[in-house]
Structure 1
Amino acid sequence: MAIEPDELDRSGRELAAVLQRLRKQAGLSGARLAARCNMSQSKISRIEGNKGRPSLLDVEQLLRGLGASPAVSAEVMAIARIAQTEWQDGRTLRRKGIDKKQLQLSGLEASTTTFRYFLLSMITGLLATPEYVRASLAQAPPEQQAKAVAMKLDRQRVLFDRSKQFTFILTEQAVRYPLVPPTELAMQIDRLVSIAHQPNIRLGVIPMGVHFASGALNTFTIYDESLATAELDLGAIVFRDSRDVQDLVRRFTVYAEHALFGERAREHLAEWADHCRR
């Protein structure tokens, strides 16, 4: 099902209003419903006020407590699933300040143990050299660039936390994308080779010519198995529904089966870096 960005914005408000209306139609106070669902009254209030994002399990509990019919439950659950998806458009992020996005990512990285990155077209900031980071932010407002570069580079410290496990899968297109001049790109690829030696990091590449059946590809990141983001040119989609996250986990597993890791990956990276130097 295609979900439009404005639909994502409306769905949270719509879900809150529908749940509040169903409670009033059932003649239940917030306290009564909370007792039926083994929830706190304050949580009910936050959900109905669209100040807290309910999980799908929360919504299922509320619908049981309300005695909703199967037809009504199916309709509300469809809204709830869309509400678990968040659209972050690039224009809004730039207007609020790139530093806000960097703080958000830093917090997410601090609370995550297992990371999976599928990189289709570019190298992610965690793996980037300072030159590559600066080039990736060239379109940002000039007054935000220096701070954003510093924050992106500072976030790279998370890679050295041995309690965290990272798997990066990069297509050859992502590795060789000419965002910077050839000599700087060679240094960027050298950094990938170096990072691939770290014991808590698996770095794989999918060379051109590797064939595997798949639909359209896009860059995405999975944080543990509780949240995932898909990067688009105009913004990012955040998935919290476990079914969406698990679908991306399965896709990532397929891509990993076609990727080269270890010495074979480093050999390809070294060859691509040498090509840049020539």
Structure 2
Amino acid sequence: MVNIRDLDPSASPLDYYGSELRRLREDAGLKQGQLGEIVFCTASLVGQVETARKVPTRDFSERVDAALGTGGVFSRLAGLVLRSQLPTWFQAYAEMEAKAAYISTFQAQLVYGLLQTPEYARALLGVDRPRQVDELVAARMERQRILEREHPPALWVVLAEAVLHQQVGGHEVMRDQLAHLLGFLESSWVQVQVLPFSVGQHTGMLGSFTLLRFDDDPDLIYEEGYAQGHMTANPAVIRERSVGYARLQAAALSPERSAALIARVVEERYGHRPGPDERAMA
């Protein structure tokens, strides 16, 4: 086992978290097993976090803060640790996404990450990186916390109808994911539209993209690729994509008609029409 004293706390957010956890645990006079009992986990898990072999969840961090009386230190560190688990090329986008005042996205194949359920995300992320799926799912759920702020960004999502039919994770996962989308129908900050098959050819057929707008910084556009995404502030590109996005919005079904289509797909393809009491709350 790696000796925590050999770790360099400056090497990564995970190493820093682990070194601080051991330091503050020892300052409190607790063994790993004793802290584990307090926060309802095993001594092994505490040891793995302290040696940077396990990524701590937000729930674990909040319980450790309560147990050690650290005033939220680990809860704050959890965000940095989880973000560091994202692919390196994606971390810059996630940082800007968290600062955006307005997010407008077109998704040709998948539900946008901020609206994914944990099970849907797990099915997607487990395809290429099954050994890291727990950390990757936790990082994606951490991104979604921006929608829980007192003043969240305005999020407008246009989904190609194909997204509703591309089965990810099986019938139950898709049923729950689409029900989750329906839960945003009454949201003041999140709007979901579906671009139906009947539209035919459209500007979004070139691929998924996201526009980020800020209160005090230049707009950005993020375009997805097979290996990695690309982000730019080029005014010409942003102008072109902004016009394209407006066309997609105009061609898409209204949020109300989109919700009706989603509910119909759930019933016809996944075997159940979700009722109001089953829809996830936005």
Distance 1:102 1:141, change over 3 A: same
Structure 1 gap segments, 5+ residues each = 1-95
Contact 1:187 1:273 survives alignment (8 Å): no
The Cα of 1:141 is off from its aligned counterpart by 3.2
User: Does 2:139 match 1:151?
Assistant: yes
Of the three residues 84, 92, 96, the one matched with 1:108 is: 96
Structure 2 matches for 1:64-75, cutoff 5 A? Answer: none
The Cα of 1:237 is off from its aligned counterpart by 1.9
Q: Show the counterpart of 2:235.
A: 242
Q: Show the counterpart of 1:176.
A: 165
Contact 1:202 1:261 survives alignment (8 Å): no
Give the alignment's TM-score, normalised by structure 2: 0.60
The Cα of 1:277 is off from its aligned counterpart by 2.8
Listed one character per residue, the Cα deviations across residues 5-51 of structure 1 (whole Å, up to 9, x for unaligned) are: xxxxxxxxxxxxxxxxxxxxxxxxxxxxxxxxxxxxxxxxxxxxxxx
Q: Show the counterpart of 2:264.
A: 271
Contact 1:212 1:258 survives alignment (8 Å): no
Whole-angstrom CA distance in 2 between matches of 1:215 and 1:99: 25
The Cα of 1:210 is off from its aligned counterpart by 1.9
Listed one character per residue, the Cα deviations across residues 208-242 of structure 1 (whole Å, up to 9, x for unaligned) are: 11235547431001111611111122221222211
Listed one character per residue, the Cα deviations across residues 105-137 of structure 1 (whole Å, up to 9, x for unaligned) are: 442122210100000011122111111100111
Aligned length, in residue pairs: 183
Structure 2 matches for 1:157-168, cutoff 5 A? Answer: 157-161=145-149, 162-168=151-157
User: Alignment partner of 1:260: what SS?
Assistant: coil
Q: Show the counterpart of 1:217.
A: 206
Structure 2 gap segments, 5+ residues each = 1-83, 272-282
- State the AA in 1 paired with 2:208: T
Q: Show the counterpart of 2:222.
A: 229
The Cα of 1:178 is off from its aligned counterpart by 1.0
Compare CA radii of gyration and give the structure with the larger one: 1
The Cα of 1:103 is off from its aligned counterpart by 4.3
Distance 1:247 1:273, change over 3 A: same
Distance 1:98 1:214, change over 3 A: closer
User: Does 2:117 match 1:129?
Assistant: yes
Q: CA RMSD in A?
A: 2.1
Give the alignment's TM-score, normalised by structure 1: 0.61
Of the three residues 248, 252, 271, the one matched with 1:259 is: 252
Distance 1:98 1:257, change over 3 A: same
The Cα of 1:176 is off from its aligned counterpart by 2.0
User: Alignment partner of 1:251: what SS?
Assistant: helix
Of the three residues 186, 200, 208, the one matched with 2:197 is: 208
Contact 2:222 2:230 survives alignment (8 Å): yes
Q: Which has the higher contact order (CA 8 A, sep 6+)?
A: 1
Listed one character per residue, the Cα deviations across residues 154-201 of structure 1 (whole Å, up to 9, x for unaligned) are: 211212333421110001101221122112101110000102321011
